[in-house]
Amino acid sequence: MKKKGKTLAELLIDVRITRKRIRNIIDRVRNRIDVYNEATIRNLSSFPHLSKMLARESEFLENVIDNLYTLEVLLEMLEIKMETLIYIGYIVNSAPAVIEAIKILKDDFSMIPEITLMLDEIYEGFYFNIEIPKEIKISSREEAKNILIEAENIAKKREKSEIYYQLNT
């Protein structure tokens, strides 16, 4: 039976939990090293053999801590990469709706061929460079109308604020 794979977000949570655990392990090992070092100094004259063993153990644990720090840095790097992948996935999933809204708005610029050509180039270039599944492309066409309305509302607000700014300067 195959093990069910985790989503990228679930893996990201696992990486964060692992980093936290690694930091806790580092703290515990660091405390143990401190105890060993104190015991080494205390027992140096009375039990030199024990002190030597504790010093070796302390040195070994220092190497372990170095490796744990390296692992923690690697996990942090992985976390950043995974966050980037999640963010890119969000962009790739939402960008087609914006592109489709641009295509819808392009029809309003039929009298200005220069703009129409630029928008066609952007539209075609987007789909040429980014492979989008048909399901996303179809749902993007539906979302495009809402995005277009949102963009129109933002544009109206910007226009009002620019007029206000021009009148008051």
pLDDT number for residue 145 = 87
- The domain total for the chain is 2
Residues 12 and 84 in one domain: yes
Q: Is residue 1 part of a domain?
A: no
Q: Is residue 158 part of a domain?
A: yes
Residues 13 and 82 in one domain: yes
pLDDT number for residue 15 = 94
pLDDT in tens, 37-63: 998 888 878 888 888 898 899 999 999
pLDDT band of 124, cuts 50, 70, 90: confident
Residues 79 and 16 in one domain: yes
Domain boundary among 40, 70, 91: 91
pLDDT mean over 93-116:
85
Task: List the single range of 11-25, 47-61, 139-153 with lowest mean pLDDT.
Answer: 139-153
Residues 27 and 79 in one domain: yes
Q: Is residue 155 part of a domain?
A: yes
Residues 37 and 87 in one domain: yes
3-class DSSP string for the chain = CCCCCCCHHHHHHHHHHHHHHHHHHHHHHHHHHHHHHHHHHHCCCCCHHHHHHHHHHHHHHHHHHHHHHHHHHHHHHHHHHHHHHHHHHHHHHHHHHHHHHHHHHHHHHCCCHHHHHHHHHHHHHHHHHCCCCHHHHHHHHHHHHHHHHHHHHHHHHHHHHHHHHHHCC
Q: Would you say residue 80 has pLDDT above 90?
A: yes
Q: Which domain holds residue 143?
A: 94-167
pLDDT number for residue 2 = 56
| Average pLDDT taken over every residue of the chain | 85
